[in-house]
Copies of this chain bind each other. A is one copy, B any other.
Amino acid sequence: MSLRHGKEFLMIPGPTNVPEEVLRAMHRPAVDIYEGPLLDTTAYCLERLKHVFRTQGKTYIYAANGHGAWDAALCNTLKRGDKILVLESGRFALGWGEAAEVAGLQAEILPGSWDRSVEPARLEERLRQDIKNEISAILVVQVDTASGVWNDIAALRKAIDAAGHPALFMVDTIASLGCMPFEMDAWGVDVALTGSQKGLMCPPGLSFVAASPKADKAHESANLRTNYTDWTFRQGPEHYQKYCGTPPEHLLYAFQKAMELLFAEGLEKAWHRHALLAEATRRAVGAWSEGGVVDFNISEPHARSNSVTVVRLESDHASDLRQFTKEVCGVTIGGTIGEISGKGIRIAHMGHVNAVMLLGTLSAIELGLEKLSIPHGKGGVQAAIDYLSEAL
């Protein structure tokens, strides 16, 4: 028997639930790209990106996904053969490093693990060894959607400073921007990038890059530039140059509306909302974990992200549970990927998510645990409710 027929949710770590207002904003005719209101939309979006990245630097909009933004960040600032240091803590920094190799860079991995955040001390240590400053850039993700880890960007910056290293500091905020505090300028990040489809509540298809003055300087001598991603061209006076060609109008309408929604709520308020919903989720998982089968993927409590909670579970259980919540309850939760593929679930609480959606999702999971006889401590939802009652 299915109880699925109602509004279905997508509680996976991207793409996320797109607000109705955002979808509605896309449902309109194409407009002229040389004059008229689209130019205001562009100006608004570029400006809002500064606020959301917390930077005075330049911002860029790409018709591309996050992987396209990876390329844009690297190709605009580096030279062929440059060495970069990739800070491992799950899947996505490694992926970015692989992209760098394709582009003609040398990627060195600072080894990490899937269940922990990057240790600032190890970064500092490695940089101190780099006496010749051969490392041109340091790549890290703020949140890894595969492992669920949160890396402490401010602390990593301090480690770089402690080592006195001049490398560009590049941060992928795809799974965190809009969900958790990020302070590009205050934290000394040189290049930050993100995508439209997670905390920013839009359909996928846009990605964004922000560059500090130091990155601008590096750009001048970069020799990996491609026409489509080139910052210099995109700083040109014509509107179409901002996009190197035809602007992706409908996705821009969507993004404009999403920014209006985000700043109507307030960016700090959105961070706070994510913090509360994430902790409620962790309370539920904590209760369930008492059954001995369910557990957090990230072993360090402080390093569990506020945008996604990755939960370890035996393989069949994970698959059965995800099928149950989707087909019986109406909510899709994420499966695990990469080296923990099939060994857990990912509960996303990022973007356009409120208390009723989150508590409904946790309830569906607890119902599934019970119905499917997966060993678990009871009272997960109760623990989430109790926590919120105190924290609100």
Chain A residues near B (Cβ < 8 Å): 1-10, 12, 14-20, 23-24, 26-34, 62-68, 70-71, 75, 98-100, 102-103, 195, 197, 203-205, 225-228, 230, 243-251, 261, 265, 269-270, 272-273, 276-277, 325, 328-332, 335, 337, 352-364, 366-367, 370-371, 378-379, 381-382, 384-386, 388-389, 391-392
The CA-CA distance from A273 to B2 in the complex, in Å, is 7
- Contacts A246-B66, A359-B363, A382-B379 known; A99 to B228 CB distance under 8 Å? yes
The CA-CA distance from A30 to B360 in the complex, in Å, is 19
Residue pair A355, B329 in contact (C-beta under 8 Å): yes
The CA-CA distance from A227 to B68 in the complex, in Å, is 8
Could you show 25 A-B contacts with beta carbons less than 8 Å apart?
A: A1-B272, A1-B392, A5-B353, A6-B352, A7-B357, A10-B30, A17-B29, A20-B29, A63-B65, A63-B204, A65-B245, A66-B245, A67-B245, A68-B244, A103-B227, A203-B251, A204-B247, A328-B392, A329-B356, A355-B363, A355-B367, A359-B381, A362-B363, A379-B382, A381-B382
Count of identical protomers in the assembly: 4
Residue pair B16, A30 in contact (C-beta under 8 Å): yes
By a CB distance below 8 angstroms, the chain B residues around A355 are 3-4, 6, 328-330, 360, 363-364, 367
By a CB distance below 8 angstroms, the chain B residues around A33 are 15
User: In the complex, how many angstroms separate the beta carbon of A22 from the nearest chain B beta carbon?
Assistant: 10
Give the interface centre of A29, A31, A227 by most chain B CB atoms within 10 Å: A227
The 4 A-B residue pairs with the shortest CB-CB distance, nearest first, are A360-B360, A6-B354, A205-B248, A359-B363
The CA-CA distance from A353 to B4 in the complex, in Å, is 8
**Partner pick for A389 among B5, B16, B29, B371, CB 8 A cutoff:** B371
Residue pair A24, B24 in contact (C-beta under 8 Å): yes
Residue pair A26, B26 in contact (C-beta under 8 Å): yes
- Contacts A226-B226, A228-B64 known; A32 to B385 CB distance under 8 Å? no
- Contacts A64-B63, A357-B6, A360-B357 known; A12 to B29 CB distance under 8 Å? no
User: In the complex, how many angstroms separate the beta carbon of A194 from the nearest chain B beta carbon?
Assistant: 12
Give the interface centre of A9, A16, A386 by most chain B CB atoms within 10 Å: A9
By a CB distance below 8 angstroms, the chain B residues around A14 are 246
User: In the complex, how many angstroms separate the beta carbon of A77 from the nearest chain B beta carbon?
Assistant: 14
The CA-CA distance from A249 to B315 in the complex, in Å, is 28
Residue pair B328, A204 in contact (C-beta under 8 Å): no
**Partner pick for A197 among B15, B17, B246, B359, CB 8 A cutoff:** B246
By a CB distance below 8 angstroms, the chain B residues around A195 are 246
Residue pair B3, A354 in contact (C-beta under 8 Å): yes
By a CB distance below 8 angstroms, the chain B residues around A366 are 385
Residue pair A29, B18 in contact (C-beta under 8 Å): yes
Other contacts beyond A205-B249, A205-B250: 10, CB < 8 A: A3-B358, A4-B354, A23-B28, A30-B197, A63-B65, A67-B228, A328-B355, A330-B355, A363-B384, A370-B385
The CA-CA distance from A382 to B381 in the complex, in Å, is 8
Residue pair A245, B68 in contact (C-beta under 8 Å): yes
**Partner pick for A363 among B27, B230, B249, B381, CB 8 A cutoff:** B381
By a CB distance below 8 angstroms, the chain B residues around A63 are 63-65, 68, 204-205
The CA-CA distance from A272 to B4 in the complex, in Å, is 12
